[in-house]
Amino acid sequence: MSTKGDRLWGGGYEEATHPLVARMNASVAYDQVLAREDILGSVAHATMLRDQKILSKDEHVAIVRGLRGILADVEAGSFDWRMEREDVHMNVEATLRDRIGAPAGRLHTARSRNDQVALDERLWLRRKLAEIGAALARLIDVLSQQATLHADWPMPGYTHMQRAQPVTVGHHLLAHAEAIARDAERLLDVQKRVDICPLGSGALAGTTLPIDRQKVADLLGFSRISGNSLDAVADRDHLVEAMAAAALGSVHLSRIGEELVLFTSAEFGFVRLPDAFTTGSSLMPQKKNPDMAELVRGKSGRVIGDLVALLVVLKGLPLAYNKDMQEDKEPLFDALGTWHDCLVATADMLARAQWQKRNLLNALDKGFLLATDLADALVSSGVPFRQAHEQIAELVGELTHNQLTFVKFGAAKIAKRLNLDEAVVRDTLNIQKALKRRDLAGAPHPKRVKVAAKVMGKRGEMLAKLAAKALRPMPVEAILAET
């Protein structure tokens, strides 16, 4: 390894690296997150080289033991990360050389940092997606439990942020659960394309040495190996997919955050958040601000920005690896870390949120939420729907002008005005009966909501198990522990 011109490798350089170039070129400040994955990949690679008689048994033992010691230091926070060694790969390899000497120089045989970083990112992403899958499953569980508890709590449903028709708190929460469950399904779909081992692709054209790529894949728990060496080192599709899932998932969380901000305000008063997730004002002593809900809402923009940043980096790159691709890590780590934190915060908030039944009921008397039900009652009496729609619209207009509601105007007057039986009108304007009339799959009948919550809970459990499969022990971990 040449040190001419202060460089760690390469030859033909007549001057030292410019300090700014050295700083911009170094990625160790953030890619050290990949240390465990880098070491596991190196143990698998060294084991394969031993089995292929490219490494001796003694060299293999020295390398694995040295790597185990480095991992212990990393996990203890005592590892000496050096910027001049550029990245996680060279920090680990150079430290290994310092500790065990010559055998360390054989570890990089038949391997490039190009296929090494591609491997490390896949290993890291596989683990991170499993952690996010567990967080998604927990949020689904919280939403399902709260939906069961509030299956028959009526609340206004909205379109255009205007009161529209009655639903229940449980039905409303399950709507969010459906979106979160789709996020989990997208995550599982990404895992399929993460499950590919690129090691053995070299810098771009493989190697002339007799390595066994499938052996490495098996040791690391991958289902298959990459099919093209150029693509393997240039491919970041799986990162983009994961970040796209994070962006959409963060948008779903943002919608929950927005509703919590609205519903906790005095204008709504539908729900109270636990004090642990609110903050006070530096000036106004009466304030209890829903800051965490606002942050969940705001951080969606950050995750979306991370996705856009990576797409722009990749959009014009020729095959195969280019230094631009070093810019994939910071947005990747940030996007998935932010998504995970927001999932945990949202689940914790909703698990302890207190829905205000009286305020919800009071809101139902405003906004003529049962206007459509009255139109349906007219239809049932033989009036064509468009004519019924016009009659109810005219009635609502008059009541609004006179600052009246259906309840204040009275069932008797409505029945006379619409030529309906008063008992029919009273039943029609009864919120609980109105909810029970919505007795079809996917609708807010309380019994339907309870069944749907139970199904959603089981769906969450299944998604959690599927996501956790990616965390199954890898054979290489036993080699690292036992050698």
Q: Mind telling me the catalytic residues?
A: 160, 281
Q: φ and ψ at 159, to 5 degrees?
A: -130, 140
Q: Are 77 and 106 in contact (CB under 8 A)?
A: no
Strand partners, 197: 225
Q: CA–CA separation, 452 vs 129, rounded Å? A: 27
Could you write out the three-class secondary structure of 377-413? Answer: HHHHCCCCHHHHHHHHHHHHHHHHHCCCCHHHHCHHH
Q: CA–CA separation, 368 vs 431, rounded Å? A: 11
Q: CA–CA separation, 437 vs 373, rounded Å? A: 9
Q: Are 253 and 343 in contact (CB under 8 A)?
A: yes
The SS3 call for residue 319 is: coil
Strand partners, 289: 279
Amino acid in the structure at residue 290: P
Q: CA–CA separation, 56 vs 311, rounded Å? A: 44
First to last CA, the chain: 28
Closest of 80, 69, 75, 122 to residue 480, by C-alpha: 69
Residue with tokens 């290993």: 123
Q: Are 135 and 129 in contact (CB under 8 A)?
A: no
Longest dimension (CA), the chain: 99
Token pair of 217 as six digits: 């894949």
**Cβ contacts of 6 within 8 Å, gap of 6 or more:** 16, 17, 84
Q: CA–CA separation, 67 vs 104, rounded Å? A: 10
Write down the H helix ranges in 220-236: 229-234
For 108, half-sphere exposure in the C-beta direction (CA atoms, 13 angstrom radius) is 18
